[in-house]
Amino acid sequence: MRKYILLAAGIVIVLAALIFWYPGNDQTEKAELLKETAGPSAEIVETVAEPSVNPVEEKAALADLVAKYKGLQLIDAHNHGASFYKYKGMLNTWKEDAVHQVVLFGNSSEPAAIDTDETAWNAYQQYPELIIPYFSGFDLHDKGSLEVVKNNLEKGYFGLGEVAGASTASPSMSKVAWKANDPMDGYLPQIYDLIAAYKAPILMHVDPPNGMPVAKLEEALAKHPGTIIIFAHINAYNTPEEVDRLLGKYPNLYADFFAGFSVYNPDSGKHPELYIPVMKKYPNRFMLSTDSGYGIGGEEQAIDAMYRMIDLLGDSAVARKIAHDNLAAIIEAQPATVTQMKALRKLEQQTGKSYDKAKLSKAEAGTILAEAAKGE
């Protein structure tokens, strides 16, 4: 027994000696000393750290940002997750990361989009408070596209997108069967007028974000001033100066900011702070999105990037607009449609309930109808 006590004491002495002589100890002492002597700048000692590459630490950083900004009710303005397994798989993450609502669609401007449009609709029927369904399954070169757009907006979809308004550089978008040659191609001009009557926006992919495609986008914006055009991932392969120029010239242009691109994609140069001045200059026309984490380390990293932009904004009023209010205003301004009104009247007859239909918005009508359908 005595032998073991001696052994334990010996171990303690050796450990104590190791701790005392460990070179790191000296560093800690220096840091402590700096803290004591350096006054207000002492905080710098604590914040100078290598950027974290440890996924566990990244997760912790995201959790901190979520805790700080969950009250903003962040909306993801651009999400391709309209497949059953994708959106079901994201439900927990959205909840955990306080993503309040998601603009959901799937494929863009190709026949496969007809199916994913329906999936987005079904997701909305299941989760009307979470999902904002858009659609993209129409051939804008075909006159029949006008009928599809009208029917879908009547049904209760809130916007068109992501529509390929022009694409030659994007590996995925440049190949879609129904892409437009430019933002004035095919029936797009008629579609702009049609959706203006519904106050519905179009989320439009335009690449490259310069030259002829942008000249034609400008023509569309000028000729259809009542149509809300949201430039999809406006910050991708673009400059803050060009974004400033476009927003300054066209009040009906909105900017979908794919935060993950500017924060995490090496192609961006990773200087998201360069966009803060233009965001503050047009605080009513930016929105944030994940683009489902396209080209970066996944969708949750893209959510993380949205929170980092909010953190960089450092102005809670502007952050609230860009995180939530701007897109929410576009959605809430859409009135209930004739088709929704018919369905509501039918519902009233069936249930004996009555709704104040005079001022009902599309979103309010949509939620009532979805909840009623769930109860059936």
> Which residues are at the interface with Zn ion (CB under 5 A)?
162, 291
What is the side-by-side order of every strand in the sheet holding 286-289?
A: 74-79, 99-104, 131-135, 159-166, 202-206, 229-231, 253-258, 286-289
Q: Which is nearer to Zn ion, 166 or 370 (CB)?
A: 166
> Whose CB is nearest to Zn ion?
291
Closest contact distance (angstroms) between CB of 264 and Zn ion is 16
In whole angstroms, what is the distance from residue 133 CA to residue 130 CA? 10
Residue number with CB closer to Zn ion (110 or 162): 162
Q: Closer to Zn ion at the Cβ: 162 or 207?
A: 162
With respect to Zn ion, which residue has the nearer C-beta, 111 or 277? 111
Q: What is the DSSP string of 63-122?
A: HHHHHHHGGG-EEEEEE---SHHHHHHHHHHHHHTTEEEEEE--S-SSTHHHHHHHHHHH
Nearer to Zn ion, 287 or 319 (CB): 287
Structure token pair of residue 206: 């335009």
Of 110 and 291, nearer to Zn ion (C-beta) is: 291
- Least separation, in Å, of the C-beta of 231 and Zn ion? 12
**How many CA atoms lie less than 13 Å away from 319 in the CB half-sphere?**
18
Q: How far is the CB of 173 from Zn ion (least distance, A)?
A: 8
Least Å distance, CB 86 to Zn ion, is 13
Spatial separation of the C-alpha atoms in residues 135 and 133, rounded to whole Å: 7
CB of 289 to Zn ion, least distance (A): 8
Q: Which of 331, 104, 102 is nearest to 228 (CA)?
A: 331
